[in-house]
Amino acid sequence: MVKHRIFKVIGARDMNRVAKWIMGYVHSGLRSRATVLALKGDLGTGKTTFVKALSNVCRAQSRAVSPSFVLLRTYKSADNTKIHHIDAWRISSRDMGYLGFDAIVQDPRAIVCVEWADRVKSVMPRRTIWMNFQHISINERKVTVKFFV
């Protein structure tokens, strides 16, 4: 069954609350594949802020951050959760294949965050959790999470 959870987020730091809820959801069930979070919403609505909050909540350490043009970043936390962050703003569904997306989504310890996921919708797995980010005011955002129970 599909459910929706709506968060009113006041200030960037409040995004931690959304990240904590997501981690509670991830830990609430056994998974055979990666948790895929598809982030969509206009420029500056908080998608990257959410990924940062998620890595903070997991106390993840950044690894292999290339200095220039980065399409995929991977963070590893103490409990072996891997957080992958893909920015699909400039890429196509085919590029997702080049990034190794198919293999990444098979890993049950992985959380895969895809910014601008609506641009690569065709490769997003069926059980993807869609998160819609909306601008309310200068420091307020509305985040709608569509998830499965």
Ligand X SMILES: Nc1ncnc2c1ncn2[C@@H]1O[C@H](COP(=O)(O)OP(=O)(O)OP(=O)(O)O)[C@@H](O)[C@H]1O
Confirm or reject binding of residue 49 to ligand X (CB under 6 A).
yes
Q: Exposed, middle or buried: residue 94 (CB in 10 Å: 0-12, 13-18, 19+)?
A: exposed
**Residues whose CB is less than 8 angstroms from the CB of residue 104 and which lie 6 or more positions away in sequence, other chains included:** 34, 84, 110, 112
Segment 96-125, which members bind ligand X (CB under 6 A)? Answer: 115
Residue 123: name the closest of 97, 87, 145 by CA: 97
Residue 141 interacting with Mg ion (CB under 5 A) = no
- The answer to the question of residue 74 lying near Mg ion (CB under 5 A) is no
Tell me the residue number closest to Mg ion, measured at CB. Answer: 48
Stretch that binds Mg ion, among 12-20, 45-53, 99-107, 118-126 (CB under 5 A): 45-53
Minimum Å gap between C-beta 31 and ligand X is 26
C-beta of residue 133 within 8 angstroms of C-beta of residue 46: yes
- If one asks whether residue 47 binds Mg ion (CB under 5 A), the answer comes out as yes
Residues that bind ligand X (CB under 6 A): 9-12, 14-15, 41, 43-49, 115, 133, 139-141
Residues that bind Mg ion (CB under 5 A): 47-48
